[in-house]
Amino acid sequence: MSRSLSGKRVAFLVTDGFEQVELTGPKEALEQAGAKVEILSSQAGTVKGWNHDKPADDFEVHRTFEQAKNEDYDAVVLPGGVQNSDTIRLDKGAQHIVNLINGQNKPIAVICHGGWLLISAKLVTGKTLTSYKTLKDDLVNAGADWVDEAVVVDGNLISSRQPDDIPAFNEQLIKALSA
Residue 30: predicted pLDDT: 98
Residue 113: predicted pLDDT: 97
Establish whether 112 is a catalytic residue: yes
Decide the pairing of beta strands 36-41 and 9-13: parallel
Q: Which residues contact 154 (CB under 8 A, 6 or more apart)?
A: 127, 128, 129
Q: Which residues of the chain have pLDDT under 70?
A: 1-3
Between helix 166-178 and helix 20-32 the angle, nearest 10°, is 40
Q: Chain centroid to CA 160: how far?
A: 10
Residue 54: predicted pLDDT: 95
Fold annotation for 9-178: Rossmann fold (3.40.50)
Q: State which amino acid sits at residue 25.
A: G
Write down the pTM of the prediction: 0.97
Residue 3: predicted pLDDT: 63
Q: Which of 52, 62, 96, 113 is catalytic?
A: 113
Q: What are the phi and psi torsion angles at 6 (to 5°)?
A: -55, 130
Establish whether 52 is a catalytic residue: no
